[in-house]
A and B are shown apart, each in its own frame.
Chain A
Amino acid sequence: MSNIYRNKKYVLLFLLPAFLFLVVYLYYPFLVNIYGSFRQIKNLGTYGTKWNEPFYDNYVKLVTDPVVWTSLKNTVLMILATIVGQVGIALLLSLLVDNIERGTQFFRTVYFFPIVISATALGLLFNLIFLYDKGMLNQFLELLGKTTLTDWKGEKLAIFTMMLPVVWQYVGFYFVILETGLNNISQELYESAAIDGATRFQRVIYISIPLLRNVICTCLTLGVTGALKVFDLPWTMFPKGMPLKETFLTGTYMYYQTMEAKNVDYGATLAVLIVVLGVVLSRLTRRVFKESEDF
C-alpha cells in the first residue's frame, strides 16, 4: 500500500487551498460583516466612521422595520412556492415522463432548458409578458374580450407575478434529479407488481414514491435553501420592492439597503439575518426531510 494514502500531509496539502479560500473569501468577510452591522457605514468598502448609538441599533431596527417582516413573509411564501411549485410539479412531470415509452430525453431537455438561461434575461422576458400596456398576457386577454388592462405587477398580483417565473425556471432542475432517481429503481419491482395485478397508479404510489423518498428529501432541502437565495429574477422584475415595498425578499431588501438606500451597515445587519435564517432553515429541513436508510 502506498504511503501517499496513509500520510496525512498530502491530504492536508490538498485541503489547505480550499480551506484558505473559504477563510479569506467567506468567513473573514462574514466576520467583517457582523462588525460592520454595528458601525455607521455610508459607503461600501469602508468600516465606517463610528459605532452606532447604541451599537445594536440596527438589530432593534431589524425587529421594528415593517419591510423586514414583509420580506420574511415573502421569503416564506417563496419557500412554499418552491416546495409545492418547483419540487411538486417536477415530481408530477417526472412520474408522467417515467411512464411513457419514448421521448424521455426530449422532455428532459425541454424542461431543463430554462435553467441555462440567465435569470436576468428571464426577468426581462417576463417583464414583457406581464407588461401593463401591450404585454403579451394582456394582449391575449384582450383577444378573449377583456376590456380593461390587468396590472400584473400591481399590489394585488405582484407576489404571484414574481413567484411564477422563479418556480417555472427551476422545475426542470428538480425534474432531472427526480427523473434520474426514478431510473435507478429496478424495473423488476414494477414487473412483479404488474404480475400481481397492480395498476400504474398503484405502482407509482407504492413503489416509485416510497423509493424516491431520499431523492425527494434532497430536492426539498435544495429547494428550501435555494429559495432563501433567490435574488436576480425578482430584482429585475420588481426593483426596489415595487410596488409599495410589497415584493421585497430578504436578499433583495439587503441589496436595496446597501446599494440603493446607501445604508450599508443596515444592509450588513440584513445579511446577518439571512445567514442566520439560512443556517436555521437548513438544519430544520435536514431534520424534517431526513433521508431514510431503509431505501
Chain B
Amino acid sequence: MKMKKLTAVLMAATMGLTIYGCGSAAPAEAPAEAPAATESEAPAAEAPAAETTEAAGPVEITVTTTFAGEDSNAQNYKDAVAGWEAATGNTVSDTSATSDETFKTRIITDFETGSEPDVLFFFNGADANDFVNAGKVVSIDDIRAEFPEYASNMNDDLIAASPADGVKYAVPVNGYWEAMFVNTKVLEDAGVAMPGADYTWDQFLADCQKIKDAGYAPIAAALGNIPHYWWEFAIYNQQTPADHLNIPGAADDATGSQWVAGLEDIKALYEAGFFPDNTLSATDDETFAMFTDDKAAFLLDGSWKVGGIVGSCQSDPDDPSTIDADKLSHFDVTYFPGKGNRKTTDLVGGLSMGYYITTKAWEDPAKKAAAVSFVEYMTSDEVVPLFAQHTASALKNAPKVDESQFNALQVKAMDMMSGVTSLTGAVQDLFNGDCRVSTFDGMPDIVVGNVSAADAVQEGIDVYNAQ
C-alpha cells in the first residue's frame, strides 16, 4: 500500500518536474546574461569591427536574411558569416529564408510576438513600417551615437530612409535591378534578333508572335504564382521615372488609369498566348526551368536571378568550375521593352534592403556589440563588393569591378547596366502587403476575365486607403 502511495507521489513529482523543465527558460538565458558584467568592454567603437566583442566572450546572435535558396549571394553569405565567426569567436544562429510573402509575414509576426532576430536583413520600404513604427529597430544615428564608425563607409545619401518616419535604419549591402533575361538560342531558332536599348513594345509583341509560331513559349512567367515583375513593368510602361512611385487615389484617376492600362497589357499578352500554357497553374520554378531548358525566350526577373541561371548551367550548382560555358552563352539580359514615355533603358532597381539591428539586441548588453560588429563586418568595404558584383552598392569607396572574375552572364549584365538611363524603385514596395493581393494573387482572375482590372485595382486602393 505504501509502495503504491510512494509510486503515485514519485510519478506526480516526475510529471511536475517535467512540466517545469519544459517551461523553464533558464538554460537559454544563462549564456546571454553571463557576459553582462563586461558591458563596459562592449562598445569598443575604435576597435576593428571583428574584434569588438572579443573580450566579452563568445556570444550567439540570431540573424535572419533573404540570402537563401536560389539567391545569388546565398553562398557568399555563408562564407561571410563563417568569416565573422572565425574572426570574433561569436556564433550566428541563422534563420535565413527565401524572400516571399510568407517570409515577410513570418518576420512581422516575430516582431509582434517578441521573437524577432538580433539582426535582420530586410526591405527598407513599407514592408518594414510596422516594426519601425513600433520602435523595434534602432536607427543608424542612434547606433552611431555609441559606435561612431557604424556604416561610416557608406554614402549616407544612398541609404534609404524608412517611409514610416523618414529615419534611416537599414544599412544596405547590394543593390538590385530588374530586367529581361533572354534565351538567345530560342531567339535564333525563331529568327528573332536580340533586343537592344531601343526595343519597343510593338516590336516585342511582333517577336512574341514569331517565337510562338516557332513552337516556343515567348514569356516564361507563372502568373498564378509570381506575377510581381510583370505587374511592376506593365504599370511602369504607362508612366515615367518621375511619376512611377505615385500611388493612385482611385482606379479612375490619372495614376489609377495607368495601373489599369498596365494590367490590361498583361491580359492582352495572356490572351495572345504569349505566356506558357500552364502559366496559371505553374510555379515560378517550373517556368524558370522552361527558360533554362530552351523552351521559353524571355524571363523578366531581378539581378538575383543571374546566380540561378548560372547555377542551371553547372553540373554541380555549388561548384562554379563545373559550368557549361556553351550553355551559359545562350543567355543574355536586356531592357524591358519601352512604351509611351518610359524609355526602354529606364529600369526598376535600387537599394531596397539592408541590415537592421533590433531594439531587443541593442538593449541586451551581451549582444549589442556583437550585433554591431556583425553588421559592420557584413557591410565592410571588403565584403560588400562580393555581394554587389554587377549591381550597385552604397559604398563611399567602391572598388573598381574586376570583370575578369565574372562569368559571361555577369559581364553581359554589367554591359546592360552601363546603358541604363534611370533606376527607379518598385512601387509595389510602397503599395505593400494586403494592398497587392487583389492584383497579385488576383492576376489569374484578371487575365481570364473573371475580374476587371479596374475592379482589382480599386480593391487594392481601398485596402491601402483603409490603412
**Provided the pairs A43-B130, A132-B278, A132-B286 are in contact, do residues A2 and B1 lie with their beta carbons within 8 angstroms?**
yes
Pair B280/A243 contact, Cβ less than 8 Å: yes
Stretch at the interface among B100-108, B150-158, B180-188, B406-414: B100-108
Pair A262/B433 contact, Cβ less than 8 Å: yes
- What chain B residues lie within 8 Å of A262 (beta carbons)? 101, 105, 433-434, 437
Stretch at the interface among B4-12, B68-76, B81-89, B363-371: B4-12
| Nearest CB in chain A to that of B277: its residue | A151
- What chain B residues lie within 8 Å of A260 (beta carbons)? 101-102, 105, 437, 441
Stretch at the interface among A9-17, A110-118, A212-220: A9-17
Chain A: minimal CB distance from B318 (Å): 20
Is A39 positioned at the interface, with any CB of B under 8 Å from its CB? no
| Nearest CB in chain A to that of B130: its residue | A43
Complex interface residues of chain A between 12 and 63 (CB less than 8 A to chain B): 13-14, 17, 42-46
Pair B105/A44 contact, Cβ less than 8 Å: yes
Pair B278/A45 contact, Cβ less than 8 Å: no
Is A263 positioned at the interface, with any CB of B under 8 Å from its CB? yes
Is B58 positioned at the interface, with any CB of A under 8 Å from its CB? no
- What chain A residues lie within 8 Å of B11 (beta carbons)? 14
Pair A45/B1 contact, Cβ less than 8 Å: no
Is B112 positioned at the interface, with any CB of A under 8 Å from its CB? yes
A261 CA to B5 CA, complexed, in Å:
56
Contact with A along B90-120 (1 / 0, CB 8 A): 0000000000011001001101110000000
Is B55 positioned at the interface, with any CB of A under 8 Å from its CB? no
Pair A46/B112 contact, Cβ less than 8 Å: yes
**Interface range for B:** 35 or more
Is A4 positioned at the interface, with any CB of B under 8 Å from its CB? yes
Q: Name B113's contact: one of A10, A45, A158 (CB within 8 Å).
A: A45
Stretch at the interface among B199-207, B306-314, B415-423, B443-451: B443-451
- What chain B residues lie within 8 Å of A14 (beta carbons)? 11-12, 15
Is B289 positioned at the interface, with any CB of A under 8 Å from its CB? yes
A259 CA to B450 CA, complexed, in Å:
24
Is A193 positioned at the interface, with any CB of B under 8 Å from its CB? no
| Nearest CB in chain A to that of B445: its residue | A244
A242 CA to B11 CA, complexed, in Å:
51
Pair B12/A242 contact, Cβ less than 8 Å: no
Contact with A along B181-224 (1 / 0, CB 8 A): 00000000000000000000000000000000000000000001
Among B281, B289, B293, max chain A CB count under 10 A is at B281
Chain A: minimal CB distance from B57 (Å): 33
Is B62 positioned at the interface, with any CB of A under 8 Å from its CB? no
Chain B: minimal CB distance from A5 (Å): 9
Pair A44/B278 contact, Cβ less than 8 Å: no
A238 CA to B313 CA, complexed, in Å:
28
Is A155 positioned at the interface, with any CB of B under 8 Å from its CB? yes
A149 CA to B282 CA, complexed, in Å:
13
Is B428 positioned at the interface, with any CB of A under 8 Å from its CB? no
Among B111, B278, B437, B445, max chain A CB count under 10 A is at B278
Contact with A along B8-24 (1 / 0, CB 8 A): 10011001000100000
Pair B281/A153 contact, Cβ less than 8 Å: yes
A178 CA to B445 CA, complexed, in Å:
45
Q: Name B280's contact: one of A17, A45, A242 (CB within 8 Å).
A: A242
Pair A131/B286 contact, Cβ less than 8 Å: yes
| Nearest CB in chain B to that of A154: its residue | B281
- What chain A residues lie within 8 Å of B437 (beta carbons)? 260-263
Pair A4/B278 contact, Cβ less than 8 Å: no
- What chain B residues lie within 8 Å of A88 (beta carbons)? none
Pair A43/B444 contact, Cβ less than 8 Å: no
Pair B441/A149 contact, Cβ less than 8 Å: no
A4 CA to B441 CA, complexed, in Å:
61
Is B359 positioned at the interface, with any CB of A under 8 Å from its CB? no
Is A65 positioned at the interface, with any CB of B under 8 Å from its CB? no
A177 CA to B192 CA, complexed, in Å:
63
Complex interface residues of chain B between 430 and 467 (CB less than 8 A to chain A): 433-434, 437, 441, 444-445, 448, 450, 467
| Nearest CB in chain A to that of B11: its residue | A14
Chain A: minimal CB distance from B450 (Å): 7
Is B283 positioned at the interface, with any CB of A under 8 Å from its CB? yes
A245 CA to B295 CA, complexed, in Å:
27
Contact with B along A144-159 (1 / 0, CB 8 A): 0000010101110010
A142 CA to B286 CA, complexed, in Å:
19
Is A291 positioned at the interface, with any CB of B under 8 Å from its CB? no
- What chain A residues lie within 8 Å of B280 (beta carbons)? 154-155, 242-244
- What chain A residues lie within 8 Å of B105 (beta carbons)? 43-44, 259-260, 262
Q: Name A44's contact: one of B8, B12, B108 (CB within 8 Å).
A: B108
**Provided the pairs A4-B4, A262-B434 are in contact, do residues A44 and B109 lie with their beta carbons within 8 angstroms?**
yes
Pair A263/B4 contact, Cβ less than 8 Å: no
Pair B441/A2 contact, Cβ less than 8 Å: no
Pair B278/A2 contact, Cβ less than 8 Å: no
**Provided the pairs A43-B130, A131-B286 are in contact, do residues A10 and B8 lie with their beta carbons within 8 angstroms?**
yes
Chain A: minimal CB distance from B242 (Å): 30
A2 CA to B450 CA, complexed, in Å:
73
Chain B: minimal CB distance from A246 (Å): 9
Is A133 positioned at the interface, with any CB of B under 8 Å from its CB? yes
A153 CA to B441 CA, complexed, in Å:
17
Q: Name A43's contact: one of B109, B225, B277, B289 (CB within 8 Å).
A: B109
| Nearest CB in chain B to that of A266: its residue | B434
26 contacts between A and B (CB under 8 A): A2-B1, A13-B12, A43-B108, A43-B130, A44-B105, A44-B113, A132-B281, A132-B282, A133-B290, A133-B293, A133-B295, A151-B278, A153-B278, A154-B278, A155-B280, A239-B225, A242-B225, A242-B280, A244-B444, A244-B448, A244-B450, A259-B105, A260-B101, A260-B102, A261-B441, A263-B434
| B residues adjacent to A (C-beta < 8 A) | 1, 4-5, 8, 11-12, 15, 19, 101-102, 105, 108-109, 111-113, 130, 224-225, 277-278, 280-283, 286, 289-290, 293, 295, 433-434, 437, 441, 444-445, 448, 450, 467
Apart from the given pairs A133-B290, A151-B281, A242-B280, 11 other A-B contacts in the complex at a CB distance below 8 Å: A4-B4, A43-B112, A133-B289, A133-B293, A151-B278, A154-B281, A239-B225, A240-B224, A243-B444, A244-B224, A259-B105
The 3 closest A-B pairs by CB, nearest first: A45-B112, A45-B113, A44-B109
